Structure 1
Amino acid sequence: MKKGLAVILSTLLVISMMLTACETAVETAQGVTKDSVKVGNSIATSGPLAPVGVPYKAGMEAYFMMVNEGGGVNGRVIEYVHQDDEFNPEKGKAAVDKMINDEKIFAFVGHFGTPIVGATLNDIKEAGIPAVYFATGTGLLYNEKAEGFDRVAYPVQPVYPMEGRIMAAWAKGEFNASKVGVIYTNDDAGKDLLKGIKQEAERMGGLTVIDEQVPPNADDVSAAVTKLKNEEVDMVIIAAIQGTFPQIAKELAKQGVYKPTLTTYVNADQRMTAAVKDDVADHFAIYANAWVDMTKPAINDYREWVGKVSDEDLSSNAYAMTGWIAAHFFVEGLRRVDGDLTWETYMDALESEPIDNPFGGSIDFSDGKRLGTQEMALLKMNPSVDAGWEGFIDFESIDGILDGQ
């Protein structure tokens, strides 16, 4: 009898161990169960950046809702958690620590803001957690051969060094410039754009770069413009964002530097057109990079689902659209994983082949490329249209821009 009882107990113990092993097997990585995967981020949804953070978060929520109501990805729904960091780096660090150690998320999706990313990027890398999409163009994310801890960062939004490279390609490949004048601001955005412009000019050859620095938000940029005028440049690049762009464009017109002028996608905004149109008039054309095309068919899904998560009209909100894009890139990587879902298999999937942006262009993460958007369109300022800008050339890579040169 005792022998029989021992056999029964032994059998029950084996069964229990098998069940435990099965339960353990489905939790193949932090934040992953057999029917869910948890992702998170910190976003400023209060404070001065709330008008950006709130719609940005809504765009992500809308995409995840669409995916979950469609059955999830490979049998798993996406659980999204968020913490408001108020755009404060110290609170951002605390939020990242909570996401990693308390929430135990599988991945960061849509990490938000230059100061927060700057304060927390190393924490994310040291934890080894994949981070897909960063709402910043900081050059900290640019890497042509990411290895080791650096591998975990997957920028999607344009990063300034890469955008600068594309600007140089437009100058030579589209505008046939041999000497380009660059007015850049002495901040991260301006210096990173200039770095990319010079890098690509050297790589291509045949393009001389004359650069002049101005302070961010400078009222007087006349000396920098005079230098480019005296150098008789073929084209001007304004490597400065919204606080300084209007002053430079107006001064170019004032001094009669009527050359084709190109600026960053950040300035492709109706407010910038309104600020300079009376001064620039028909004297010279202003162009800007673009990485989102709202005429793409994906806009229909976006508008349907974003209307389900927000009472505010976000149908044409650029920040909400970028949140949607962030979620899209994460999910596309998830769909490609065949077998166990781990950080390693997920990163392998992201890098397996280029991923299309639903609103234009594609991104290739293979071989350690962490360049952000690698294909951009070209817009032309036009005050007579509602947006202030109109399409000029569709999405092209650097090689496509230079084809035939």
Structure 2
Amino acid sequence: MRRTTRVATAALAALLLGACGTNTGASDDGTDGGDTADAASVVTADDCADPDAATAEITDTLKVGWSAPLSGPLADAVGNVIAGMEARFAVANDEGGIDGVQLEVVTRDDAFNPERAKANVGELIQSEGVDVLDTFGSGQLSAMADDQTDACVPLLFAQASVPAYRDVEQYPWTTEYLPSAEVEAQVVVESLTAQYPDGATVAMAVNQSESGQGIADAYRDAFEGTDFELVGEAPLTDPNTAASTLKATGAQILVDAGVTTDCLALTNAIGRAGWAPETVIQPSNCADGATLYAPAGEAADGQQILRWLKDPANPAFADDPDVQQYLEQAQANGADDPTNSYTVNGWVIADLMVDVFTQAADSEDGLSRLSIMQAARTQDYAPPMFIDGISYQMSPTQSFGILAFEPYTWNAAAAEFESAGDVVDISSRYQ
């Protein structure tokens, strides 16, 4: 039976359309205007352990070093991210690279262990001589950020959402790709207000990693002062126990404050428990329908998610020329599963990097770690694989990146996501 999630997401667009807006920071001639100068004042080499390394011209090869869980339960998803990234870099390299500089991905396995990620940073910087870093997970980012900041090596588009590293003054050399948990929770709670004007009861399943705790904290803050009552929380250490515990609360709404591996596991668990909450909200990092929703059958029907990427597996995008080009190029350059949302994710992160590297190379100082970071701080770019109307927006004072979403619900019978409203853009709130 279809649950009422579709009503909530459809109402979201109507509720927030009045707040829609875009802050591009660009002048009429396509330049960044004053933002570039502002970025130069925010990101400097003055406090770098090796200022000369930060400002040295990058020649021949630009290395991007990844510390990521290449083993363990997240390995398949991360493997697709890396494959998508390598495919996009291959396209750039075939087109001449960045003013002749070729792009290379260097990986180190951290098994989703923050201490291993911290050790990987030293190896990637010292032994591999990487020019840019990336990582997967909020705990990993937390373990890496101080050393990476001291070394003045840009850490771009981290697959994390922890709020602390969006503080431009404290971490000027770090950006995150995933939407801020604060922003995502805010949008979801406003959508729930449209569906439940008199409030409702909420249960939350929480992954015990820093990623999960960050999402949970954001929802607790977003629910505070509303008519929604958080009547129960349970750790996702054992999804079956969590489902049974939370079912006993009788909550109308279930929020999954989890990571990729939790989404299907929790859905299967509530199905086994015979619990069908009126509304189930999944985190935006659980985006792949084929692997995270379809296997759960009817138990996943109507689950809500906010998305920003086009889905090449969805017939709604079959005629999209950007999707068609992506599929052709990704397949031609070694991406074995191009319709997988994590492959798309990796491709888009690489596409965002190519845009940053190009802007840095075109700057007066040429391509260097410093110019890369300054370009990243003023980026305003809509990757072709972003849903139309959504872009990645940064400024020297604003580090949120993604501030727009399209609401979707999962249709179990059709085994695909369905749009549940127009793109909701709240960027005007963060100008």
1:76 aligns to 2:100 (yes or no): yes
For the Cα contact (< 8 Å) 2:59–2:101, is it kept in 1?
Answer: no
1:215 aligns to 2:243 (yes or no): no
Letter paired with 1:373: I
1:239 aligns to 2:268 (yes or no): no
Distance in structure 1 (CA, Å) of the matches to 2:212 and 2:358: 37
Question: What does 1:150-299 correspond to in 2, within 5 Å?
Answer: 150-173=171-194, 176=197, 178-179=199-200, 181-185=202-206, 187-188=208-209, 189-202=211-224, 206-216=226-236, 217-220=238-241, 221-229=243-251, 235-240=253-258, 241-242=262-263, 243-248=265-270, 254=275, 257=277, 259-268=278-287, 269-274=289-294, 277-278=297-298, 285-294=302-311, 295=317, 297-299=321-323
1:336 aligns to 2:359 (yes or no): yes
Change (3 A) 1:344 1:172: farther
- TM-score normalised to structure 2 length: 0.70
1:316 aligns to 2:345 (yes or no): no
Offset at 1:384? 1.7
> How many residues get paired?
356
Percent of aligned pairs with the same amino acid? 21
1:393 aligns to 2:421 (yes or no): yes
Letter paired with 2:220: K
Distance in structure 1 (CA, Å) of the matches to 2:270 and 2:426: 26
For the Cα contact (< 8 Å) 1:142–1:161, is it kept in 2?
Answer: no
1:356 aligns to 2:379 (yes or no): no
Residue 421 of structure 2 aligns to a residue whose secondary structure is strand
Offset at 1:238? 3.7
Offset at 1:400? 8.3
Residue 371 of structure 1 aligns to a residue whose secondary structure is strand
Offset at 1:126? 2.0
For the Cα contact (< 8 Å) 1:238–1:245, is it kept in 2?
Answer: no
Match of 2:409 in 1: 380
Which segments of 5 or more consecutive residues in structure 2 lack a partner in the other structure?
1-51, 312-316
Offset at 1:153? 1.2
Change (3 A) 1:34 1:339: farther
Match of 1:19 in 2: none
Letter paired with 2:93: N
Distance in structure 2 (CA, Å) of the matches to 1:336 and 1:174: 43
Match of 2:371 in 1: 345
Question: What does 1:4-153 correspond to in 2, within 5 Å?
Answer: 29=54, 32-34=57-59, 36-45=61-70, 49-73=74-98, 75-85=99-109, 87=111, 89=114, 91-108=116-133, 110-113=134-137, 116-135=140-159, 137-139=160-162, 142-148=164-170, 150-153=171-174
Change (3 A) 1:366 1:182: farther
Offset at 1:167? 1.7
Letter paired with 1:291: W
Letter paired with 1:287: Q
Distance in structure 2 (CA, Å) of the matches to 1:236 and 1:47: 27
Offset at 1:175? 5.9
Residue 99 of structure 1 aligns to a residue whose secondary structure is helix
Offset at 1:396? 1.8
Offset at 1:196? 1.6
Which segments of 5 or more consecutive residues in structure 1 lack a partner in the other structure?
1-26
| Higher alpha-carbon Rg | 1
Higher relative contact order (CA 8 A, sep 6+): 2
Offset at 1:65? 1.6
Residue 62 of structure 2 aligns to a residue whose secondary structure is strand
For the Cα contact (< 8 Å) 1:37–1:106, is it kept in 2?
Answer: yes
Match of 2:32 in 1: none
Residue 227 of structure 1 aligns to a residue whose secondary structure is coil
Match of 2:43 in 1: none
